[in-house]
Structures are given as structure tokens and as C-alpha cells.
A and B are shown apart, each in its own frame.
Chain A
Amino acid sequence: MTTHVKDSWMSTRLPCLGGICATYFQKNRAANAPYFAALPFLIAMAAAFLTLSGAVLAVYYNPWHAFDSVQFIDRNVNNGWLIRTYHATGTTMIFGVTYLYLFRSLLRRAYRAPGEFVWMLSVKLLAVLMLTGWLGYVLTGGAAGYWSLFNAANAALSMGGLPGAVGLWFFGGPAGGDTLARLEVFHALLAVALLLVVWLLHASRRAIAAPVASGKGVAFYPYYLAQYFAALAVFALVFVVLAFYAPHLGTSHMNQLPAESLAVPLGGGVPWYLAPAAGMLGVFPGSGLSIVAAIAAIVVLYALPWLDRSGRAGRCGKLYGFFTWVLALDVIGLGYAANSSSGAAPTLAGVFTAWYFFHFLVLTPVVTAMEAE
């Protein structure tokens, strides 16, 4: 690879590739960046890793015998258990870095202009990731996943008009092999959509990066390459600890049971990364309200650049920072309440859900406007 792209063999034959390579040698990046700035890169790496491991699983997966085929992968496919552990723990890792990235964006208020578009893509990333993650959880054919699908599909099918038609097109039916066969396709398609969103996120972040004074910047190679590699090594270390010593971290033993259409499992069986959303949906009676709540929870996140009244130049106040930490605890609490069998759990989930909307719809405009003065 040469920095003189105009002269290189490849750039005369495929100019766009030469252009891409050249960006990695231009000294236009900030001369200091925290490790946390590598989180989108880690999300991209985890997404690619999940796509590859998922492709191997798809070879052996059979939606008409979902649970048995997963058992077959675990027990009879050479190193199948390893690939499945990679896929399951990779999911934990991608959700971990995505939640961390979103929280950091909230804390730094990176969603304000000119970062609105990046923020909107980040929320889209979370939405696509949660849908993909839920489909993967359902595809395992476990008892908890089966009933989660059964409830969701029935909620969608019971709606009239266009939403009902879309639901029928998406699910095909309440549960069973034919539905899982569709969902397997959507799971794979959404994985591609996820890679696309991650790429757009990366490109839009580059577009709004603060300009660096000439002579003060550094190139991607070797500075950011070294940093990203270090971040990836630590990420991989955490990954192997979880994959080999806690392969079922944050998932319910309910989903280790085969799906049974006549037996509803006791208690919540949602994996940790879906638990906050499940806790919120469980608060609302009836499927219609739950769907409205799910959309509202995403919409308030999406609208955050306009709910924040501090404006482009407003400073980051301590009080709003404190409330952002409270919001993080609130979401974690929602996750715990979703899978708790304690009698207080439904009340707590209600309080946490109310606080979530209160934070975005009331606290955010009021506190930021107050602190901007």
C-alpha cells in the first residue's frame, strides 16, 4: 500500500478503492482520542463476528425442529457448541457495547447539533439490534422464546387494517415451524441491515468530526489502528471469559426447555439484553397498549435532540448528568423487574417505566433549559 494513491497500480484500475485506502493515511484525525471512542468500531466488529458465526449456525438450523436442531449443533456437529457459544456470547457483547455507546452519547450529549443524525442512526441501531436479538432468542426453540413469539405474533395478528396485514406478512402465523422459517430469513436480513446501519453510523460520525488544524492531526495508520487493536484485544479478553466460563450469562434456564404448546413456563425468561424492554411492555395491559408503549419508548429517544433545550452551545450541566446516571439505573431496574418473580416487581416496573418517560418528556426539557441559562 502506498500513500501516493494516484500512482498506485490498483488506483488506476479501481479508483474508489485507492480513495478508501488514502483516507487511512490522511493526517486529518484528532491527535488524542479516548478508548471509548472506539465503541462503534467494536460494535462493527461484533456485528461482523455474529454474521459469520450465524452463517455457520444457519447451515445446521432447522426451523421445523428448532430445539432439536440446536441440540444437534451443540452435541453432534464438530465444534458446533463452540460456534453456538460464540454466537450467544457475541450477542451479549454487542448489546453490552451498544448500551455503553448509547449511554456515553447521552452523558456527553453527543446527540445535539451537529450530532442529531448520528444519534438518530444510533437509536435505529438499537432498534434493529433489539429486533434481531429477539428473533434470535425466539429461533432457539426454547420454551420461553416460544411463548414470547406466541404472544407477540398474536398481538400483531389481532390488529386490524394495515398493521395487522404487516403482522401477518411478518409472522405468517402465531408460532411453529413455518413462522420460525420466516423469522430465520428476517433474522438474517436484519443482520445485513444492522451492518448497513453500523456503516452509516461510522460514515456520519466521520462527517461531523471536528476539523483538525493542519499539521496537528494524525493518520488512522498507525495511530488509530494501534488504538483500535488494543480496544479489540480487551474486548476479545472479556469475550473469551464470558464465552468459556459463563456461556449462559443473563439468559433464563426456562429457555433450555423445549417449546411446549400446552405448557406455559413459569416466570419471565427474557435474556438480559431484552429485559428492560420486556419490563416496559409488561406494564401495559393488552397488546395494543404494549405496542404503542414500545413505539413511544423509541420515539422519545429519537426526539432527544429536540427535547434537549440547551441548544448547540449550551454547556453540560451537572444536574442533567446526574439524571442521566439515574436513567441508566432506571433501565437496569426495569431489566431486573422484568425477570423477577417478587410480588413488588410489577409495581416497580410501573414506577421505572413512568420515570423513563418522565425523564425524557419532562426532566430533559426543563433541566436542560434551566442549565443553559
Chain B
Amino acid sequence: MRRFLASIFALGTLTAACHAARAADTLSPLHFQSQGPLGTIDKAAAQRGYRVFESVCAGCHAVGQVHYRDLEALGLTPDQAAGEAVAAGGNLGSPLKGAAPMNMGGAIPPDLSSIAAQRHGGARYIYDFLTGFAPAPAGTTLLPGHYYNTAFPGGETAMPPVLRDNAVTYADGTPATSAQEAADLAEFLTWTADPNLDARHQIGFRAIIFFAFLAIIAIASKRRVWSAQI
């Protein structure tokens, strides 16, 4: 019992330590704060990811299930969120729409709202895909208007490589390498796919502690009741 409690407290301390020691560097090694059972959305990374989305991705893709008002959950003030909305020609209640659907060599750019849930591998896949553009191996004939990508199933995608170093300027001074942009975007899209991730993990942690104790008490009580039978 004591060992059980000690392990729970150790887990709690560990979580707290992780939060305190969180380095701004998410690339070496590559990790996403949102992953794992106790993960939370890295708001700084997700805000940077939003910047990449609105500067680069929104040229073709929408995040139609997310509204500008929802960005406040990433730490933007209502005024900042409204500013983003007005700059995009909408208001706080408008969805993050991209340009009108276009035909990219027979493919229509998908809505990215739930892309992290729709693709096997989630955030890691998004990062691998965005950094996976490479020259096609010798002997490979690509479809017209297609690009070779090591992470994409089948190897060729209609999406061109769009992330470049310094494609955006980060307000927090993080160097905007293309790998950094891809990682930040992956964190942002993890949030858009699962905006309740933080709350889910937090409630879950408390609920598990509650029901673990309830189960122990209920089993002890059952044993006591049954041992008292005539």
C-alpha cells in the first residue's frame, strides 16, 4: 500500500519536474510534449505552429473545425485572436479557412482539422511527412505534378515541399528552420485534432486516483462484510 502511494507521488513529482525543465528545444532529440499519457499541448510550439499554418499552409488547406476564438486556448489574448481573424478577413467566430479548394494534379488539399487523428502515427507522421521530401530514387517515375516523399504511403504526393528555413519569423526568437517549422506545425495540428487533450489527461489522472482508492476500499469492505457472515 505504502509502495503504491509512493509510486503515485513519484509519478506526480516527475510530471511537475517535466514541466519545470521543459526546454524550448523540441528537436534534439525530436519530441512532442503532447505525446504520452501525461502529455500536454506545448502552447508555445503550437502558437509557432499556428504562425506556420497561417503563413504557409493556409494557402491551400483549411482547419475548418477550429475558429479564431478557439486560439485563446493556445494562450492568445482575445485581442490577438481577433487580430488574427481580422487579418484573415473574418471575425472571432470564423473558422480557419484556407483558400478555395483547388485541384493539385487531381488531388484536393484536405482539411487539416483532424489530420493528426486521421493519419497513422499522428504528430510524428506529420513531422516525417513535412521533412520527408527528397529527390526520387533513380528509376522511379513520378506521376506528373507529384513529389517524392519518404513518409507518404506509396512514396509520391501531390503536395509540393513548402517548408523552407525562415519561411516565417517566430515572435519568440526560435530559429525558424524547416525542421522546427514542421515540429511546431505537428504540435499545432495535434491540438486542432484533439483540443481537449490537456483536460482529458488531467481529469483522467484524478479519476484514476479516485477509482483506485474506491476499488481498494470497496474490496476491503466486501471482504469484511463476507467475513462477518454466520
Binding site for B on A (CB under 8 A): 31, 71, 74-75, 81-82, 85, 218, 222-223, 226-227, 229-230, 232-234, 236-237, 240-241, 243-245, 247-248, 253, 256-257
8 closest Cβ pairs, A-B complex: A244-B204, A230-B218, A237-B211, A233-B215, A233-B218, A240-B207, A226-B222, A226-B225
Is the beta-carbon distance between B211 and A230 smaller than 8 angstroms? no
Q: Please give the distance in Å from B192's CB to the nearest CB on chain A.
A: 9
Residues of B near A241 (CB, < 8 A) are 204, 208
Interface residue? B229 (CB, 8 A):
yes
Question: Is A240 a contact partner of B118 (Cβ separation < 8 A)?
Answer: no
Q: Given A236-B211, A237-B208, A244-B204, does the pair A223, B37 have CB atoms closer than 8 Å?
A: no
**B203 at interface, CB cutoff 8 A:** yes
A316 to chain B, nearest CB (A): 27
Verify if B190 is at the interface (C-beta below 8 Å from A): no
Question: How would you classify the secondary structure of chain A's contact residues: helix, strand, loop or mixed?
Answer: helix
Say which residue of B65, B201, B218 sits within 8 Å of A71 (CB atoms): B65
A60 to B120, CA, bound (A): 29
> Within 8 Å CB of B203, what residues of A?
82, 244
In the complex, per-residue mask of B180-206: 1 if CB is within 8 Å of any chain A CB, else 0: 000000000000000110001101110
Are B226 and A227 in contact (CB-based, < 8 A)?
A: yes
> Which residues, 74 to 119 on B, are CB-close (under 8 Å) to A?
113-114, 117-119
Given contacts A81-B196, A245-B37, 13 further A-B contacts (CB under 8 A): A75-B65, A75-B66, A82-B203, A218-B229, A226-B218, A227-B222, A233-B218, A234-B219, A237-B214, A244-B204, A244-B208, A247-B200, A256-B117
Report the Cα distance A346→B179, complex, angstroms.
41
CB distance from A251 to the nearest CB of B (A): 10
Residues of B within 8 A of A75 (CB): 65-66, 70, 195
B226 and A226 within 8 A (CB): yes
- Chain B residues whose C-beta falls within 8 Å of the C-beta of A232 in the assembled complex: 218
* Min CB gap A52→B, angstroms: 18
Pick 18 A–B contacts, CB within 8 A, sort by A. A31-B229, A71-B113, A75-B70, A81-B200, A223-B226, A226-B218, A232-B218, A233-B215, A237-B211, A237-B212, A240-B204, A240-B208, A244-B201, A244-B208, A245-B201, A248-B117, A253-B117, A256-B118
Q: Within the complex, what minimum Cβ distance (angstroms) separates A96 from chain B?
A: 16
Q: Which residues of B contact A218 (CB under 8 A)?
A: 229
Question: Which residues of B sit under 8 angstroms from A226, Cβ to Cβ?
Answer: 218, 221-222, 225-226
Residues of B within 8 A of A229 (CB): 218, 221-222
Q: How far is the CB of B153 from chain A (nearest CB, A)?
A: 8
Instruction: Give residues 54-80 of B contacting A (CB, 8 Å).
Output: 65-66, 70
Given A75-B195, A257-B118, the answer on whether A236 and B222 have CB atoms closer than 8 Å is no
**Taking each of A71, A240, A256, which has the highest tally of chain B beta carbons within 10 Å of its own beta carbon?**
A240
Measured in the bound complex, the distance between the Cα atoms of B117 and A13 in whole Å is: 57
Assembled-state Cα–Cα distance A93/B219 (Å): 20
- Interchain pairs with CB closer than 8 A, number: 79
How many whole Å from B202's CB to the nearest CB in chain A? 9
The answer to whether residues A230 and B118 also contact, given A85-B200, A223-B229, A244-B201 and a CB cut-off of 8 A, is no
Residues of A near B201 (CB, < 8 A) are 244-245
Measured CB to CB, the nearest residue on chain A to B225 is A226
The distance in angstroms between the C-alpha atoms of A135 and B225, with both chains bound, is 42
Instruction: Report Cα–Cα, A240/B201, bound state, in Å.
Output: 11
Nearest CB of B to A293, in Å: 30
A230 contacts which of B196, B200, B204, B222 (Cβ < 8 Å)?
Answer: B222
A81-B196, A237-B208, A253-B117 in contact; A230/B221 too (CB < 8 A)?
yes
Complexed CA–CA distance, A370 and B222 (Å): 42
Q: What is the CA–CA distance of A237 and B119 in the complex, to the nearest angstrom?
A: 29
Shortest distance between the CB of A228 and any CB in chain B (Å): 9
* Contact, CB under 8 Å: B218 / A256: no
Q: Which residues of B contact A257 (CB under 8 A)?
A: 118
Q: How far, in Å, is B157 (CB) from chain A's closest CB?
A: 15
Q: Once the chains are docked, how many angstroms separate the CA of A31 from the CA of B228?
A: 11
Q: Mark B27-52, 1 if CB is under 8 A from A, else 0.
A: 00000000001000000000000000
Residues from chain B with Cβ under 8 Å of A85 in the complex: 200
A243 to chain B: which residues have CB within 8 Å? 204
Inter-subunit contact B222/A244 (CB<8 Å): no
In the complex the two chains form, is A223's CB within 8 Å of B225's CB? yes
Residues 115 to 170 of chain B near chain A (Cβ within 8 Å): 117-120
B221: A residues at CB distance < 8 A:
226, 229-230
Q: Which residue of A lies closest to B229 (CB)?
A: A218
CB-based nearest A residue for B203: A244
Cα-based distance from A218 to B205 in the complex (angstroms): 38
A81 to B119, CA, bound (A): 20
- Tell me if B118 and A244 are in contact (CB < 8 A): no
Are A233 and B114 in contact (CB-based, < 8 A)?
no
Tell whether A244 pairs with B225 under 8 Å between CB atoms, given A233-B211, A253-B119, A256-B117.
no
| Residues on the B chain within 8 Å of A223, using CB | 225-226, 229
A244 touches B200 (CB 8 A): yes
Asked if B120 contacts A253 (CB within 8 A), the reply is: yes
Residue in A closest to B207 when the chains form the complex, CB atoms = A240
CB distance from B2 to the nearest CB of A (A): 20
Chain B CB within 10 A, most for which of A31, A222, A233: A233
